[in-house]
Amino acid sequence: MSIESTNPATGDVIETYDETNASERSERLERAQTAFEEWRDVPIETRQRLLVNAGDVLRENTEEYAELMTREMGKPIEQARAEVEKCAWVCDYYGEHAAEFLQDEVVASDPNARTVVAHQPLGPILAIMPWNFPFWQVFRFAAPNLAAGNVGLLKHASNVPGCARAIADIFHEAGFPEDVFTTLLIDSSEIEAVIEDDRIQGVTLTGSDGAGRAVAETAGSELKKTVLELGGSDPFVVLEDAPMEETVETAVQARLLNSGQSCIAAKRFIVVEDVYDEFVDRFTEEMDAQVVGDPLDEETDIGPQARPDLLDQLHEQVQETVEQGGEIRLGGEPVDREGAFYPPTVVTDVPEDAPADQEELFGPVATVFRVPDEAAAIEKANDTRFGLGASVWTDDLERGERVAREFESGLAFVNELVKSDPRLPFGGVKDSGYGRELARDGIREFVNTKTIWVQQDAGEETDLVE
């Protein structure tokens, strides 16, 4: 069997890759387990140094990796370069801080005992990663976990096999031992068998909530730890005192980054009555000014959707919303050109329970809701099964922080678009998943937090209550 890598801007086949067959899959799992037995004992300073090397490899080959991402999934080239740099940043970050985050913690306990909390690696961790940020999603998993002493096995999205191979090569070139990071080019139907394999000790997934439920069910039956970063329908709340020029400028960026294909993109724009008309007019004008075109062209703002079927699904959601009473202010029809292009689209007057109200729209489509006041804005922001990110826009920063605390989300930003940062925990609540990536929290997700009790006076009485 083979996997084709296809350029969504042209429909051309870039390259064909052989799938990992069942025998090869088992062999790679065995090699990963063997590699872990040695890797876990490698001094963390060495692991950190190798991560820094990986960051250097990324920066030295930025153009090559950026063009690979752009050709495989359509990301505008400037954004692809920024993604490579962000991957290097996360390598640098854990290259500097991993030892600090994982050092033993001496905890005051019984006066006649020394009690320590240690953080020890678990073993081979399976990472099931999406196509929309084909390098970043992988590196934000790999950097902390390889630093912690785990080994990684990557099941990447089927439309970015070239990115999957390139990432494995990066770690090899950086000096990581063979099989500490392995790519499995397998079909999604094989994931369950991999999770059930005794050699896999944990699973992390970034993807849809449907995929998350399936992975969690299988991993739960095997009593294996999971981290799930799932979909989002992030609210972008505009209050009456919002700095309008900055708000509109950032709103466009927050909706259209990665051609609108981001879990943490602003998708529902919730605007109070007093500034609703002004916001809609200015926002629609700025959305219309964005350039749709060849993602390899430096002037392009929006490239193609990553696959034709994803464009079809997005358009169906828009059409159904309009049929139920929504109004198209801009866009709303696929671009009449070769490739899977969808234009910047603005939908208002969205009825309750329409797809644009209840579902995640994974593309350059913004829905705008009119609300009477701040309280109604918060209520609408939380009226979703998702809970990944949210932002609020206001001139009053104290008010902004108060509103941010009211959001039912894992991330809340005031006067800034929602984004990930290696220094801060990243993840969601509700149907957006659980667990955290990045920062200290992320490196401690797949470790054994072990209590070690050293009794220093054996003659003392012991408390036998559990």
d(C-alpha 431, C-alpha 228), whole Å:
10
- Cα→Cα distances 155→45, 111, 126, 158, 200, Å: 28, 49, 7, 9, 13
d(C-alpha 74, C-alpha 146), whole Å:
29
Could you count the other beta carbons within 10 Å of the beta carbon of residue 63?
12
Alpha helices in 123-240 (DSSP H): 136-148, 161-174, 191-196, 209-221
Three-state secondary-structure class, residue 41:
coil
d(C-alpha 285, C-alpha 305), whole Å:
22
φ, ψ of residue 448 in degrees (nearest 5)? -90, 110
Residues 346/280, Cβ–Cβ less than 8 Å = yes
Residues sharing a CB contact under 8 Å with residue 359, sequence separation 6 or more, in sequence order: 233, 317
DSSP result, 253-299:
HHHHGGGG--TTSEEEEEEEHHHHHHHHHHHHHHHHTSPBS-TTSTT
Per annotation, catalytic residue among 263, 359, 374, 406: 263
Angle at CA of residue 144, ends 141 and 149, nearest 5°: 115
Catalytic residue flag (residue 229):
yes
Strand partners, 330: 346
Per annotation, catalytic residue among 72, 229, 360, 408: 229
φ, ψ of residue 229 in degrees (nearest 5)? -115, 105
Catalytic residue flag (residue 217):
no
R_g of the chain, CA atoms, integer Å: 24
Could you count the other beta carbons within 10 Å of the beta carbon of residue 61?
16
Strand partners, 386: 430
CA dihedral (362, 366, 371, 373) in degrees, to 10, reads 90
Closest residue by Cα to residue 142 from 164, 161, 162, 157: 164
Closest residue by Cα to residue 69 from 87, 83, 55, 90: 83
- Write the burial class of residue 45 (CB in 10 Å: 0-12 exposed, 13-18 middle, 19+ buried): exposed
Q: Which residues are catalytic?
A: 229, 263
